[in-house]
DNA sequence: ATGGCGCGGTCACCGCGA
C-alpha cells in the first residue's frame, strides 16, 4: 500500500500533474492540501476515470481545501473543525484493515512570529494545540497523520537554521508543538528517521527564488507521521524533488511511504 | 534587510501563501 501527501496549490490547475504522478509512482492513496475549490468544482470524474474511484473531498472557495483520492475503499469518513472555524483543513478516513489516515492543512501563520501582533500566528498555535488534543483522545495504534503542517521542525529541515529561527515555520513555539505532537500522539517522524540526521531534506521551495534548485533554500513543511506499532511495516520513504521542476509546478513536492501489511 | 512569484476571484488589484 503506497500512500502519498501533496500540497497541490489548486487541484483544478494541476490535475494533469497529479494524475501523471499517481500513474508513474503507482500511488494507492493520495492526500491533497490547498485544493482551493468548492466540492462541486473538484475534478473528481477525471480521477475516477483513472481508477481512483474512492474519494473524500472537503473544500471551499479560493482557500484551503483537503481531499483523499484512493483505489482502496474507506470504512469511515469524518472531519474535525478547529479554532471555531468552518475552514477546510482536516479530513480523516478509516480503511478496512483498520488503518486510519488524518489529512491536515495547518494554517501558515502569516509573517510576524508574535501572537500579540499577528492573529494568523495565534491561529496557527491554537490549531496545533487543538490538533494535539484531538489526537491524544484517539486510539494510538494504526494511525497515519500527514499533510502540510507548515512547520519545519528540525535544524536540517531548513536551509539555514540560524537565519530562520525567527521566521514563521521554524520558530521555537512551532517546533515545540511539533515535538509535543510526536510525544503525546506516540508518533514516529518516519521521513526524518529514514534519512541521516544531518541530511538536509525539504518538501517546499518558494516560488520567489529565481532558480529554486541553485539557491536550494527549501524547508520540510510536509510530513507523514506514523504510529509506532506499524513502523516495522514501512518498506520505502520517498520525496519527489524532481516534481518541483515540472512546468507550472506547485511550490510543494509529494512525499510517499510504502506499507507492507 | 528586502523582495522576489503564483494562486483565485466582486479580476489591472487584493488577500493569501510561508
Strand B positions within 7 A of protein Cβ atoms: 3-10, 15-18
Closest listed residue to residue A30, CA positions, set A74, A78, A70, A60: A70
| Whole-prediction pTM | 0.97
Superfamily designation of domain A2-259: Endonuclease/exonuclease/phosphatase (3.60.10.10)
Nucleotide nearest to A163 (CA to C1'): B1
Distances (CA, A) of A209 to A21, A32, A78, A216, A232: 24, 24, 38, 9, 39
Cβ-contact A185, A140 below 8 angstroms: yes
pLDDT of residue A67: 98
Question: What are the sequence ranges of the domains in chain A?
Answer: 2-259
User: Who touches strand B, with Cβ under 7 Å?
Assistant: A 7, 9-10, 12-13, 34, 36-38, 61-63, 107-111, 120, 148, 150, 168-169, 204, 206-210, 219, 221, 248, 251-252
Closest listed residue to residue A190, CA positions, set A146, A132, A136: A146
pLDDT tens digits for chain A (261 residues)? 999 999 999 999 999 999 999 999 999 999 999 999 999 999 999 999 999 999 999 999 999 999 999 999 999 999 999 999 999 999 999 999 999 999 999 999 999 999 999 999 999 999 999 999 999 999 999 999 999 999 999 999 999 999 999 999 999 999 999 999 999 999 999 999 999 989 999 999 999 998 999 999 999 999 999 999 999 999 999 999 999 999 999 999 999 999 998
Amino acid at each position: 500500500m503506497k500512500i502519498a501527501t501533496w500540497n497541490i496549490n489548486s487541484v483544478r490547475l494541476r490535475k494533469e500533474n497529479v494524475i501523471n504522478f499517481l500513474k508513474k509512482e503507482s500511488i494507492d492513496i493520495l492526500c491533497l492540501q490547498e485544493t482551493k475549490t468548492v466540492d462541486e468544482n473538484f475534478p473528481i470524474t477525471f480521477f475516477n476515470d483513472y481508477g481512483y474511484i474512492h474519494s473524500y473531498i472537503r473544500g471551499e472557495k479560493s482557500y484551503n481545501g483537503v481531499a483523499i483520492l484512493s483505489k482502496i475503499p474507506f470504512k469511515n469518513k469524518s472531519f474535525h473543525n478547529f479554532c471555531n472555524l468552518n475552514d477546510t483543513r482536516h479530513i480523516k478516513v478509516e480503511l478496512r484493515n483498520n488503518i486510519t489516515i488524518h489529512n491536515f492543512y495547518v494554517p501558515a501563520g502569516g509573517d510576524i512570529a508574535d501572537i500579540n501582533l499577528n492573529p494568523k500566528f495565534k491561529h496557527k498555535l491554537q490549531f496545533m494545540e487543538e490538533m494535539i488534543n484531538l489526537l491524544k483522545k484517539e486510539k494510538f495504534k494504526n494511525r497515519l497523520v500527514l499533510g502540510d503542517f507548515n512547520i519545519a521542525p528540525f535544524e536540517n529541515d531548513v536551509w539555514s537554521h540560524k537565519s530562520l529561527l525567527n521566521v514563521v515555520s521554524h520558530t521555537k513555539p512551532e517546533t515545540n508543538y511539533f515535538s509535543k505532537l510526536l510525544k503525546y500522539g506516540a508518533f514516529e517522524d518516519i521521513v526524518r528517521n529514514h534519512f541521516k540526521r544531518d541530511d538536509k531534506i525539504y518538501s517546499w521551495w518558494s516560488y520567489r527564488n529565481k532558480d529554486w534548485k541553485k539557491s536550494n533554500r527549501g524547508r520540510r513543511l510536509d510530513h507523514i507521521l506514523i504510529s509506532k506499532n506499524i513502523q516495522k511495516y514501512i518498506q520505502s520513504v520517498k520525496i519527489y524533488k524532481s516534481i518541483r521542476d515540472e512546468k507550472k509546478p506547485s511550490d510543494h513536492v509529494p512525499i510517499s511511504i510504502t506499507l507492507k501489511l
